[in-house]
Structure 1
């Protein structure tokens, strides 16, 4: 029995999710919020999933997907949403099937997703120039979006509010949080990052130390790099450093940076790391032509496109036709995006100093955004450690390690997790998130 959500627009209710056969476990709503000016209208598509626990009291988690430019629906069927693409059997001619995700964050929180920036997923602009974007433009649109969304769904204004994100959206989360605090339009409760961008120096400079810790290079190589680069491995023009970095890149060339234990595109981003059953790649190519993806990438890149780029899916999710939005892609190639805010430290300092709770967590097998980069960056804030490095558990198993700092800041690793650990460690990330939103200061 779904709890009543009285303020939501009736026409926005989603009665059926594409590829899923069964009853939805809570109320879903989807549609557009228009931002921008009269001459430059930008239509942001959203999907709202009410909490399966108690939507009247549970938090609203606003999840911003990474990329930049990856659709919210990639997060819904690959990350924290209530569905998973069923990959137990894959046949090119069959429609994509969707199953329930047993570790969805909707178990404990309402989830609000948005296709952002404009041009991602089902979002679209009326002027081609609006597909040129950057961090400032994206965050301004997200802030305007939230103001309008809460006007339509006003009964959720009093709920605890969280902003969460992963990967590149680590840029957007603190910027948006700061905008909200400045505006005080809605009550922001806290924010959380998963392997998120923090500071371009830390993001790029910790690949070498991480690779050394993982045993990818020898003591001698690491010492040569440290000596020649002076511990500055990124953007260093010293000839000896450049030469040693070239050698280093040769040693990690075949390693999948998003999860170092997996072959490139082999990791299925699902509930397990088991092989799916595929038709031969020959049959895929005979139907669809030569593909830029190999068979191991097929489910992650092409299946969402097959699922959501149909007239039926658009009708179910209240999205505009392809003629208006363009074809659906997991991560849009239409957007011309540039990063214009490279250091998030001032924003985090401002927010944490005001008492807003923050939770950073990293998969410990991610070389794209190594956990040691996030941890050392946090230490650069000069906050005091309240709880030193210690294991945290799910059941009797060590799920990772955590450190707690003053100013309501918590850091944790997910043991065995990659760049987006909720894909490889869904139970553990849900457990960590639930403990934290339910008020635990430590794991």
Structure 2
């Protein structure tokens, strides 16, 4: 099923108007801009492990310019040869700096009781993906993190506009950093970025096939617990809850018979009655990781009450709970305390608060974001059938985007299995299971991880990513 027509006007405009200018610019540029280099990172004592750069790439045209903030950490291994990984955080509208400091970036923010009132501190991340790759973290769309727009109307956006801006961002980024053009390019993300990454990948492929894309050396993409098909992901939570022992066999049988596989947007009275019982059973469960205590902070996955199932709620523990007061509160506030300081913004080449607004981790209220791409299965089919590599992985205790839902949409591709469900190991221990499909598609689970795998299992996530990025078809 073709899926390029919706974006053909975007691509045609870029080819005809400013892509040739970017190519000329790249050929005449002498490498990374010195003004963008980050010499130190606030709260971190010591020398940065590799060269870091930060700043803005402006997309759009007056009066609708949008300024997308990026942080670029070059590889600690071999930056001239290692892959370039463009990381697009989930949300929609979760800052890339959150992924840098809480997932797989070179620095790790300290979230414990010692940092509740004192200065925010960071340490080196021993499991950073920048050990083996050059990583671009981007705040997208405008209104996310440090990114901003000149016109308030540009804070009303959707998937299509986000992809358009990211495509322009990617081309302009490599025009500023042309020495990385020969490096293999991969896109990656988690959660809601599953809606964005495949479409952006397709735009890059279209440009490459037309021969006017700065010769981007695009190789593939990686996605963790990704939103791919709105029906599959919403209908996947009930069977997942049953697998996890959160609902009884009897309730599950009642749900399957009354709802007939449709557990959202269902108006059948018996189905609605059973769904009410389902929500009672999972009330208070941390859907990010069903074994962990719940926190009160925005994941940012759903900005509108009707875009996901009604079980997407926030929960908080009692105020006297040690977990809530130490972990949940600090996780949500330490980044903001650090990143809203004007001295931090100056050091990281970000504009003042009065221009971009306060830094918000996820789901900035000034954004009005609508999902307008509801199934990405055709994009995956197009990309993988052309030979582009795909690594699809899941924490197996995530109920937001259950691994079972991911397996269901992969089956819809109807690809042959090269190597069926089997364990993969780190130091002799099983850390998950994987399935190798034809067309360079690899699926893997992480045993015991939640919604953001690299946050729950950072060492194993690094090992898996290194095995895949270095060419392994199976873990």
Fold shared per TM-score above 0.5 = yes
1:431 equivalent in structure 2: 463
What is aligned with 1:329?
A: 360
Q: Which residue of 1 aligns with 2:390?
A: 358
The residue aligned with 1:289 is none
Q: Distance between the aligned counterparts of 1:95 and 1:247, measured in 2?
A: 46
Aligned to 1:307: 338
Aligned to 2:261: 231
| 2:430 alignment partner in structure 1 | 398
Taking the aligned partners of 1:304 and 1:115, their CA distance within structure 2 comes to 15
Q: CA-to-partner distance for each residue in 1:374-405, whole Å, 9 max, x for gaps?
A: 01110111001111000000111111000011
Residues of 1 paired with 2:453 and 2:222: CA distance?
A: 14
Shift of 1:23: 0.6
CA RMSD of aligned residues (A): 1.7
TM-score of the pair, normalised by structure 1:
0.92
Contact 2:468/2:474 (8 A) holds in 1: yes
Q: How many Å separate the matches in 2 of 1:136 and 1:266?
A: 30
> SS of the counterpart of 2:114?
coil
2:46 paired residue number: 22
Residue 419 (str. 1) matches residue 451 (str. 2): yes
The DSSP-based 3-state class of the residue aligned with 1:165 is strand
TM-score after normalising by structure 2: 0.86
Tell me, yes or no, if structure 1 residue 161 matches structure 2 residue 191: no
* Unaligned stretches of 5+ residues in structure 1: 270-279, 283-292
What secondary structure does 1:324 align onto?
helix
Equivalent residue number for residue 139 of structure 2: 115
* Residues 1:150 and 2:167 are matched in the alignment: no
Query: What corresponds to 2:280 in structure 1?
Result: 250
Describe the SS at the equivalent of 1:222: helix
Give the structure 2 partner of residue 241 of structure 1: 271
Deviation of the 1:298 alpha carbon = 1.1
| Partner of residue 67, structure 2 | 43
1:196 equivalent in alignment to 2:220: no
Question: 1:273-327 deviations in whole A, cap 9, x for unaligned?
Answer: xxxxxxx979xxxxxxxxxx85542122111100100011101100000010101
What CA distance in whole angstroms lies between the structure 1 residues aligned with 2:375 and 2:117? 47
SS of aligned partner of 1:264: coil
How much has 1:266 moved relative to structure 2?
8.5
**CA distances 1:104-152 after superposition (whole Å, capped 9, x unpaired):** 1001100001110001011111111011110000000000001101001
Out of 97, 100, 104, the residue aligned to residue 76 of structure 1 is: 100
**Pick from 110, 135, 144: which aligns with 1:86?**
110
State the 1:218 CA deviation: 1.2
Identify the residue that residue 174 of structure 1 maps to in structure 2.
198
Runs of 4+ in 1 over 4 A off after TM superposition: none
Q: CA deviation at 1:38?
A: 2.1
- CA-CA distance at 1:232 after TM superposition: 1.6
Structure 2 SS opposite 1:189: strand
Deviation for aligned residue 1:333 = 2.1
Contact 2:418–2:438 at 8 Å: present in 1 too? yes
